[in-house]
Amino acid sequence: MAHNVTELGPKEAEFLVRMASEKNGIFTFAEAQAFWQNRTYTTKVLHRLLNKGWLDRLTRGTYMVIPLEAGLRREWSEEGLVIAPYLARRVAVAYWSALHYWHMTEQMPRMVFLQTPDRTSQRMRKSLGIVFRFITVKEHKFFGIANINIDGRKILVTDQEKTIIDAADRPDLSGGIIQLVEALRGSWDGLDWNRLDAYLERFRVRTAIKRLGYLIEKMNPPLPELEERLARWQSHLSAGIALLEPGAQRKGKIVTKWQLRINVNLPEARRPDDS
């Protein structure tokens, strides 16, 4: 359904403008009721505006004014990161979506990946033409979240160091191990390596250390105390052989130093400052 201003009464138009300007387009039922001053009438107005295509319901009691730029198909991909914090109580943009947000990959995922420590009744959700995928993690994995304010709108996204660790933990949610290689190559200077060390200790999943340790050693970046860092990581390895690329075939050489089976072909190793 297209926007048609003739479908709006003057009071409805005023309401939409008020919610778009004062609430950045996202508002609660209580905020709408404060405008209309009547609970029953507020319910009727919101229902009418939803049917007309002027609003989208994000969650129970939370609504979004659909921008005119969404067009006839009601798709507004730029809103994906803004919508995310309203879809669950504790949630952050993560994995492939976070890699793209931090410009660590040029590949844009077809959906927005969201990380949450809370159980959710739905693994997938579609809003404004955007598909959101929820990944539930254990409580100790939910940290390292940047709270970013853009034009008055809140965006919650895993920070760069946590994003790298998440991509090493779940390459399948981050575009694969090749995307992780490219992310590492493009972010040496921007990463806080002491923070990444602390995050790895807190993360408590040794498979991520195995993959990162192997890749970083192979790529040999110009990092201070590289050998000491890798030796420290190696001392924390868990038993058992992990796959470099989960989901790929269980074949390929085993690098016992990192307890890792190299089951995919990687791009030729090179330092990030090589031409």
* pLDDT tens digits, one per residue of 22-48: 877 889 999 999 999 999 999 999 999
Is residue 235's pLDDT more than 70? yes
Over range 76-94, report the average pLDDT.
Answer: 79
Q: What pLDDT, in 10s, does the model give residues 129-169?
A: 789 999 999 999 999 999 988 767 788 999 999 999 999 99
Q: Rounded distance, CA 157 to CA 114, Å?
A: 9
pLDDT score of 215: 96
Share of the chain above pLDDT 90, in %: 56
Domain ranges (residues) in the chain: 5-70, 77-261
pLDDT score of 80: 76
Q: What pLDDT, in 10s, does the model give residues 176-216?
A: 999 999 999 988 889 999 999 999 999 988 999 999 999 99
pLDDT band at 268 (very low <50, low <70, confident <90, very high): low
Is residue 65's pLDDT more than 90? no
Share of the chain above pLDDT 70, in %: 89
Question: What is 206-268 written as a DSSP string?
Answer: HHHHHHHHHHHHHH----TTHHHHHHHHHTTPPSSPEESSTTS-S-S-EETTTTEE--SPPPP
pLDDT band at 170 (very low <50, low <70, confident <90, very high): very high
Return the CATH class of domain 5-70: mainly alpha
